[in-house]
Amino acid sequence: MAESVLNTPDLKDLEEEELWDLINDNRHAISLGVRPCVLIPYLRQARVLTDLDEDEILTCLNFTNRGHMIDLLRVQGHNGAMALLESLMIHYPALYTRITGRQPSIEPSGFSGQSLLEEKDCLALEVEKLTVDCEMYQHRSTLFHNQLEEVQAERDKVSTISAYNEQISYSLASAPPFLMRSRPQALRITGRVLTVFFQGEIILNEIQVIGGNKTGVFVHDVTEGSSAHNTGVSPGSQILQLKYEREQRAVRMVLEDTTMEEALWALGQVQGPCHITLRPTYENLLQQLKNGEVMSGDSFYIRVNMTMQEDVAGSLAVKCNDIVHVTDTHHSIDGSWWASHVHPCHLEDLKSGTLPNYYRYTTTLYLKILFIIRKKTLSHEKQRAARIVITVSSKSFSPVGDGCVPSRCVTLMPYTLVSPRFPPICRPVLLLPTLLGRVLHKRLAEQDGYQICEPELLMASEHAIQMQKGEILEECDSKTHLCYTLQGVEKIMKRGTHCVLPLGLDCVRRLHRAEIFPIIIYIMCSERSLRKLRHKLRQNVLTESQVLECSCSEEPLLDKLPCLYQSIPPESWHDRATLIDTLKTVVTEEQQNIVWVESDTW
């Protein structure tokens, strides 16, 4: 392995995003193979976790979010990544080598002046301390349980969720949470632009706007005699950005790709002198509106992370993991969007209706999660009622100037932005849980149009190059450099054949970077269904309890995938032959569908 890391920069010299790419490429291996209670003492000493973080992590292990520790460390940026890698180097050296391609070092830690050996002694004392504190945590757990009961009692006083929502006014004092997606650092200015200055009191009293999203935000009407009118602001101009002062700080807001909802919020913040950058003109949008081709300029696709039934006439019923096309973010004054279900095979809008906007839906999501935790509901059906997705980001509309550092925040996401992909024929196939996949891979690969991916033996220099390029999907043996590679998958795909992947979940992110989108199939397991495969399990030196445990461990990690997956219920097959037939049917259906890929929520 020493040969494979020559001429590679030290981990401390890597940028924050490079470090987190290494970790996220192995996120599921860390979530499944690491016991957080072993790493937490070191992470606490490195000051990247607090006692509250520790409580959250240990609590999440009782539910479904096994990757919560990684999520919390991601907020700490470069320090969080380095602390995690150093703790893995101490306690999980093999996993550290798999992630970084480096052998563990005994150099002093970057967070303390002690050697790793001394650090390990200190951590051993911390583990003893944790053992003594176990009773205290049990007591605190009882207190938390009592607090939850009190919260539930208060919640019961509210007759319905809608009544609760009515008590929450949609405040324009803060940005719509949907603005927390990443923004380009520079304007994509093309063509002639004009920046005008005018003294306005409330800009929305002087101009009306239409459009939004990729179409652009345009001035539709200007009040005659207003400051905007007198300075030359005219209908048909696209608003690119605003500059003004607020609380003695310069503020710049980029409106080039905002939704209508976001644009109205931004314009509503201007209550004084303002510089506005404009670009004419909007004839194309007007023609589309006149022809009924669009309702507004808004047009983007989202993945729904919480099931919501149709509650009032005209609302759109959605399920967790549905794909929805949003075409108007300012449909009504109550904060509703206008959206449509999308045909699975092509970009065609189906049934349409209203959806709560991001802010209102976030409130409902919090209540849904509280209900799940309260009831400790862990069945598959209840889990799919809410997909817990969090993101960390800085405010998109922040004051400019050297003294203003964007603050990071973690927030639940009721919707996540997705984009369509139309991959070529014969996508690879990944079967889960991985232990059950061992029983099915060879049999599936024997079918017409399928071939199993085989590992390749690489030279040390070739291994180092492919490791740096991210082309190694998984290592069988790091000492001999026996690996599954990206090139091996591509060779099978070029033959017009489905590549059966005998790999884990961490290969998905690496494949996506190469624009390869595997069909992910999760086979739901029960004791009864696994009895049908008892003989085959024994041939592979597996027990039913091992497969069930693997299934329970991997199922929560599916929510962290940046794409959709298909589930096969246990009652849909009765032996291995019918299960293989079911898998082939699912692959055929999925091959025809659009692949929806989430943006990186970090």
Q: What is the mean pLDDT of residues 280-304?
A: 71
pLDDT higher than 60, residue 446: yes
Please name every residue paired with 595 in a beta bridge, in sequence order, or none if there are none: 421
pLDDT higher than 50, residue 396: no
pLDDT tens digits, one per residue of 228-285: 888 878 888 888 888 888 877 888 888 877 888 888 888 888 888 888 888 766 666 6
Give which of 558, 161, 565 is closest to 387, Cα–Cα. Answer: 558
Name the region of 191 (left: φ>0; alpha: ψ -120 to 50; beta: rest).
left
Sign of CA dihedral 294, 295, 297, 300: negative
pLDDT at res. 600: 64
Cα 493 to Cα 128, 236, 427, 544: the distances in Å are 53, 49, 7, 33
Cα 251 to Cα 41, 172, 398: the distances in Å are 42, 16, 7
The arrangement of secondary structure in 188-290, i.e. its CATH architecture, is Roll (2.30)
What angle is formed at CA 530 by the lines to CA 528 and CA 534, rounded to 5 degrees? Answer: 120
pLDDT higher than 80, residue 439: yes
Domain boundaries, given as residue ranges, for the chain: 3-142, 188-290, 300-419, 422-598
Query: HEC string of 131-143?
Result: HHCHHHHHHHHHH
Does this model's pTM top 0.75?
no
Sign of CA dihedral 22, 28, 30, 36: positive
Q: What is the mean pLDDT of residues 83-102?
A: 89
Assign a CATH topology to domain 3-142: Death Domain, Fas (1.10.533)
Give percent of the chain above pLDDT 90.
29
Alpha carbon 536 to its chain's center: 36
pLDDT tens digits, one per residue of 34-80: 888 889 889 988 889 888 888 878 776 555 556 788 888 988 889 99
pLDDT at res. 581: 95
| 3-class SS of residue 436 | helix
Q: What angle, 0 to 180 degrees and rounded to 10, lies between the N-to-C axes of helices 576-592 and 434-445?
A: 90
For β-strands 429-432 and 519-523, DSSP reports them as parallel
Phi, psi values for residue 148, rounded to 5°: -60, -40
291: tokens are: 């022809």
Q: How confident is the model at residue 186 (pLDDT cuts 50, 70, 90)?
A: very low
pLDDT higher than 90, residue 447: yes
pLDDT higher than 50, residue 185: no
pLDDT tens digits, one per residue of 311-359: 677 889 999 899 999 988 888 877 788 999 999 998 899 999 998 887 7
Rounded to an integer, what distance in angstroms lies between the CA atom of residue 487 and that of residue 493? 10
Cα 444 to Cα 108, 280, 433, 438, 550: the distances in Å are 50, 58, 15, 11, 21
- What CATH superfamily is the domain 300-419? SH3 Domains (2.30.30.40)
pLDDT at res. 85: 93
The CATH class for the domain spanning 422-598 reads alpha beta
**CB 302 within 8 Å of CB 326:** yes
